[in-house]
Amino acid sequence: MHPPLSKNVTEEIQRLRSKIRYHNYLYFGKAAPEISDREYDILYRQLCNLEALYPQEIPQDSPTQSLGGDDAPALQARHLTPMQSLDNTYSEAEILEFVKRSQKLLSGAPLSFVLEPKIDGVAISLLYRSGHLVRALTRGDGITGEDVTQNALTIRRIPRRLPSFCPEVVEIRGEVFLPRKVFSELNARRVKRGKPLFANPRNAAAGSLKQLDTKVAAARKLDAIFYGLGIWKDENNCQPETDKEFLELLKIWQFSLPPYIWKVKSPAEIFSAIHELEKLRHSLSFEIDGAVIKVNDFRQRDKLGSTTKAPRWAIAFKYESERAESLLKKISVQVGRTGVLTPVAELEPVSIGGCMVSRATLHNEGVIKRKDIREGDYVVIEKAGSIIPAIVGARKDLRSGQEQPFHMTERCPACRGELYQPPGQVLVRCINPQCPAQLQRRLEHFASRGAMDIGGLGKILITKMVKSGLTRKISDIYALKKSDFLLLGTGEKRAETLLCSILESKMRPLWRLIFALGILNVGTTCARALAFRYGSVARLREAKDLESVEDIGTVVASSIRQFFSDAESLCLLYELEKHGVQTAASFDSAQGIDRPLAGQTWVLTGSLSSPRKEIIYQICMRGGYIAESVSGKATYLLAGKNPGSKYGKARRLRIPILDEEEFQRMLKK
């Protein structure tokens, strides 16, 4: 018998699931994590422990039952075999437990392991048919991944063809990464051009691999290393029997392998190899964050099997985060989209793990007081998971007496509005709905890729829009004109592209709009569930049974009701509808329009007789997607008079080319 679920336990489980899904979305969907691997692992372990105590109601979409992020990109395909992630640990005791568990499940049969570096890159799966590379997918959610074939082809060390003795169908898996030197050069060029720096090599690699323009991806000089097998289909059934044999075969096929590989048998040999690799860590040309230990024999792997999320025959040992010391010059306060004030440490720039760090979050005033961190302190900074810098503590032994304690501002630093701190909470909020800092963050969230996906509407341009007064609320985005963007300093072509992106966003799926509204505690998974259950914003607003929706407890339901009871929120929804933004999942059928162009990618070129905005609207209304450049992913090129270079490229790639008359005939079918 398992103990009954109390209200508090239920809410804690829902809170952990919601938080983990949010961080999965940031990590897998946007390649922009907000917390360290260690902090994520703690959250995940807490959820696992609670679900082990209360297994009676574990939903299939719990983060412990799924493989990764759930915000799948538009151009995607299914892996032929699931692309699982690895369980990981920071504890040698858990490595020992992994070995004992494997021996027990295999009835004491002799075991050997392969140990190799855990590369901090972007997981990729290459599909070869009859020796030809036909597709490259990112991990995605483990079931489907984003198709990045064209950009993968720009990586020199990825073989286009395999020798004649290869299997009929095979998936080869590995990591795409940016070498340390290339990453440093890339950031140096961005500094010269006044562009924001990439936070770390992994983020830069993820962004490069997903570029729409293959020339940009090629210029980034991505590299790759391979080590894993997905599917193997071969009439002669000559699949390698061990990981060691498979790696030797990869070498013959001209794949790049991990530079160090150990074959080990005992726990003592495993730990020795882990420590040896850690010493070699900084001599490598790329980032690693640990070691991977895998059972060598493939037949033993089959017997060990896997959970929904990870194989039982492998585990990753993670190295502790790197640390450095620097002067904390000042503690500034930043305002988020929900009005929460977050203290940020402004640091003397310091290099940690090859990345320059000049800012670090301090979370809230309570954390600062608890750690006794002061302006003027020398502080210990941890580059947690090589992603987010965090301040571990102050070097109190180095204090001169001139250091100043931090006190939270009494007014909002952005608008000088009143602040409010709910009883018993550490968070302080600006309660001015017209606060420009909040507006800017809300606009950034609304336009982000995971929400309404308005391409080109980034942080810098939004800052200009707010400062100039062009946007005083979210719905103002849909009232912008070409002349407005020209006044902000964009070129004509970019202004037209932005307007097209804004127009396209009106047709986004309902769940994206719900997420984009920025309702407190509502992430992408929750937004999908709400869209599926209620089908429109209007029905969601009137819903009385929110708690009956999967993964929505009293806290989330309260946030939703609070949002829809606010006059400003209702005004926003009214204005979005007035501008033609889709607010119901049944929009297409309600208008009597089907989606015959669903899944198609269109590129426009030349002078068109109809306004370009109108043509884009017609395509988007019917489920099509507009791309800015011609690639192998394009379905059609719509060509007007005097077409440019896109026309020639489409012909070379044998992409069907339509004129306006043919296009209109297609729409009437």
| Distance from C-alpha of 495 to C-alpha of 482, rounded to nearest angstrom | 6
Whether the CB-CB separation of 269 and 99 falls below 8 Å is answered with no
Whether the CB-CB separation of 68 and 82 falls below 8 Å is answered with no
Residue 483 CB coordination number (10 Å): 9
| Distance from C-alpha of 168 to C-alpha of 80, rounded to nearest angstrom | 14
- The 3-state DSSP class for residue 590 equals helix
Sorted by sequence, the CB contacts under 8 Å of residue 97 that are 6+ apart come out as none
| Distance from C-alpha of 43 to C-alpha of 28, rounded to nearest angstrom | 17
| Distance from C-alpha of 652 to C-alpha of 73, rounded to nearest angstrom | 27
| Distance from C-alpha of 319 to C-alpha of 79, rounded to nearest angstrom | 30
| Amino acid letter, 428 | V
Q: Which two tokens stand for residue 112?
A: 């050997």
Catalytic residue among 19, 100, 104, 118: 118
- 92 φ/ψ angles, rounded to the nearest 5 degrees: -65, -30
Q: Which two tokens stand for residue 282?
A: 């900084």
Please provide the distance, in angstroms rounded to a whole number, between the alpha carbons at the two ends of the chain: 61
Q: Measure CA 442 to chain center.
A: 19
C-alpha dihedral sign at 505, 511, 515, 519: positive
| Distance from C-alpha of 617 to C-alpha of 39, rounded to nearest angstrom | 44
| 115: nearest Cα among 311, 245, 298, 276 | 276
Whether the CB-CB separation of 144 and 125 falls below 8 Å is answered with no
Distances (CA, A) of 182 to 177, 190, 221, 223, 319: 10, 12, 7, 10, 24
DSSP 329-341: EEEEEEE-TTSBE
| Amino acid letter, 427 | L
Task: Confirm whether 30 is a catalytic residue.
Answer: no
Q: Tell me the chain's radius of gyration from C-alpha atoms.
A: 26
| 285: nearest Cα among 313, 256, 308 | 256
- 187 φ/ψ angles, rounded to the nearest 5 degrees: -65, -35
Roughly what angle, to the nearest 10 degrees, separates helices 267-280 and 92-105? 140
Q: Which two tokens stand for residue 149?
A: 């074939």
Q: Which two tokens stand for residue 280?
A: 């070699």
Residue 126 CB coordination number (10 Å): 23
Under DSSP, the state recorded for 27 is: I
- 155 φ/ψ angles, rounded to the nearest 5 degrees: -85, 115
- 381 φ/ψ angles, rounded to the nearest 5 degrees: -110, 135
Distances (CA, A) of 388 to 85, 359, 381, 395: 21, 10, 10, 20
Distances (CA, A) of 269 to 99, 273, 276: 12, 6, 10
Kindly list the catalytic residues: 118
